[in-house]
Amino acid sequence: MSNLKICRMCNIVKDLNDFYDINKSKSKYCKPCHNKNRQKYRFQKPKPNPNSKPKEKKPTGFQKLSKEIQDDILYMISVKYTFKEIAEKYKEHVKYKSLCLWKRQDKIKKYE
Protein backbone atom coordinates (compact mmCIF):
# COMPACT_ATOMS: atom_id res chain seq x y z
CA MET A 1 0.00 0.00 0.00
CA SER A 2 1.56 3.25 -1.03
CA ASN A 3 0.77 6.04 1.35
CA LEU A 4 2.93 8.54 -0.33
CA LYS A 5 2.17 12.03 -1.53
CA ILE A 6 4.22 14.72 -3.14
CA CYS A 7 4.39 18.06 -1.42
CA ARG A 8 3.47 20.92 -3.75
CA MET A 9 5.95 23.19 -2.13
CA CYS A 10 9.16 21.31 -1.56
CA ASN A 11 8.36 18.67 -4.22
CA ILE A 12 9.50 15.89 -1.97
CA VAL A 13 7.56 12.66 -1.85
CA LYS A 14 6.60 11.98 1.71
CA ASP A 15 4.53 9.64 3.76
CA LEU A 16 0.90 10.67 4.17
CA ASN A 17 1.56 11.01 7.88
CA ASP A 18 3.72 13.95 7.01
CA PHE A 19 0.69 15.81 5.72
CA TYR A 20 -1.99 17.43 7.81
CA ASP A 21 -5.62 16.51 7.36
CA ILE A 22 -7.53 19.49 6.12
CA ASN A 23 -11.26 19.20 5.54
CA LYS A 24 -11.05 15.41 5.47
CA SER A 25 -8.38 15.38 2.77
CA LYS A 26 -4.67 15.75 2.98
CA SER A 27 -3.00 19.12 2.78
CA LYS A 28 -1.16 20.01 -0.42
CA TYR A 29 1.91 20.74 1.58
CA CYS A 30 3.85 18.60 3.98
CA LYS A 31 3.80 19.52 7.64
CA PRO A 32 7.10 21.43 7.66
CA CYS A 33 6.05 23.45 4.59
CA HIS A 34 2.59 23.99 6.00
CA ASN A 35 4.06 25.36 9.22
CA LYS A 36 6.50 27.53 7.35
CA ASN A 37 3.59 28.93 5.37
CA ARG A 38 1.61 29.62 8.48
CA GLN A 39 4.50 31.41 10.10
CA LYS A 40 5.03 33.57 7.07
CA TYR A 41 1.35 34.41 7.08
CA ARG A 42 1.38 35.27 10.75
CA PHE A 43 4.41 37.49 10.36
CA GLN A 44 3.01 39.35 7.40
CA LYS A 45 -0.47 39.94 8.63
CA PRO A 46 -0.07 42.22 11.65
CA LYS A 47 2.42 44.49 9.95
CA PRO A 48 0.96 47.98 10.31
CA ASN A 49 0.82 50.10 7.23
CA PRO A 50 3.18 53.04 7.81
CA ASN A 51 1.15 55.14 5.41
CA SER A 52 -2.16 54.49 7.09
CA LYS A 53 -4.09 57.49 8.28
CA PRO A 54 -4.49 58.16 11.98
CA LYS A 55 -7.44 56.35 13.46
CA GLU A 56 -10.78 58.07 13.44
CA LYS A 57 -11.19 57.47 17.12
CA LYS A 58 -10.27 60.47 19.21
CA PRO A 59 -7.03 60.00 21.11
CA THR A 60 -7.44 59.91 24.85
CA GLY A 61 -4.05 61.28 25.76
CA PHE A 62 -1.57 63.81 24.59
CA GLN A 63 1.04 61.08 24.14
CA LYS A 64 -1.24 59.31 21.68
CA LEU A 65 -1.12 62.16 19.23
CA SER A 66 1.39 61.89 16.45
CA LYS A 67 4.81 63.29 17.15
CA GLU A 68 4.35 66.12 14.66
CA ILE A 69 1.10 67.20 16.21
CA GLN A 70 2.55 67.02 19.71
CA ASP A 71 5.48 69.15 18.65
CA ASP A 72 3.27 71.62 16.88
CA ILE A 73 0.93 71.93 19.84
CA LEU A 74 3.87 72.46 22.18
CA TYR A 75 5.19 75.06 19.82
CA MET A 76 1.83 76.81 19.58
CA ILE A 77 1.59 76.88 23.38
CA SER A 78 5.10 78.30 23.65
CA VAL A 79 4.23 81.14 21.30
CA LYS A 80 1.05 81.85 23.30
CA TYR A 81 -1.65 80.43 21.14
CA THR A 82 -4.75 79.76 23.21
CA PHE A 83 -6.08 76.25 23.65
CA LYS A 84 -9.14 77.33 21.71
CA GLU A 85 -7.00 78.20 18.70
CA ILE A 86 -5.05 74.97 18.99
CA ALA A 87 -8.21 72.93 19.32
CA GLU A 88 -9.58 74.73 16.28
CA LYS A 89 -6.52 73.87 14.22
CA TYR A 90 -6.46 70.24 15.33
CA LYS A 91 -10.16 69.68 15.77
CA GLU A 92 -9.81 66.33 14.03
CA HIS A 93 -7.45 65.19 16.76
CA VAL A 94 -7.88 67.22 19.91
CA LYS A 95 -10.73 68.64 21.89
CA TYR A 96 -10.44 71.92 23.71
CA LYS A 97 -11.48 70.18 26.91
CA SER A 98 -8.75 67.58 26.46
CA LEU A 99 -6.13 70.28 26.16
CA CYS A 100 -7.32 71.92 29.37
CA LEU A 101 -7.38 68.56 31.10
CA TRP A 102 -3.88 67.64 29.96
CA LYS A 103 -2.62 71.02 31.04
CA ARG A 104 -4.13 70.52 34.47
CA GLN A 105 -2.68 67.02 34.68
CA ASP A 106 0.65 68.43 33.56
CA LYS A 107 0.76 66.08 30.59
CA ILE A 108 1.81 68.73 28.13
CA LYS A 109 5.47 69.32 28.50
CA LYS A 110 7.06 72.64 27.83
CA TYR A 111 8.39 73.23 24.38
CA GLU A 112 12.15 72.86 24.25
Report the residue from 5, 18, 27, 33 that binds Zn ion according to the rule CB under 5 A.
Answer: 33
| Ranges of H-type helices in the chain | 31-44, 67-78, 83-89, 96-104
Cβ 1 to Zn ion, closest distance in Å?
22
User: Per rule CB under 5 A, is residue 34 in the interface with Zn ion?
Assistant: no
Please give the DSSP secondary-structure letter assigned to residue 23.
T
Q: Which amino acid is at 15?
A: D
Under a CB-based contact definition with an 8 Å cutoff, are residues 18 and 31 in contact? yes
Interface pick for Zn ion out of 9, 74, 76, 101 (rule CB under 5 A): 9
* Binding residues among 12-31 for Zn ion as defined by CB under 5 A: 30
Q: Which of 3, 4, 6, 10 binds Zn ion (CB under 5 A)?
A: 10
Give yes or no for residue 7 binding Zn ion (CB under 5 A): yes
Q: Judged by CB, which is closer to Zn ion: 9, or 76?
A: 9
Q: What are the φ and ψ backbone dihedral angles of 102, each rounded to 5 degrees?
A: -60, -40
Site residue total, Zn ion (CB under 5 A): 5
User: Positive or negative, the Cα torsion across 61, 63, 67, 69?
Assistant: positive
What 3-state class would DSSP assign to 76?
helix
C-beta of 39 vs 78, nearer to Zn ion: 39
Binding site for Zn ion (CB under 5 A): 7, 9-10, 30, 33
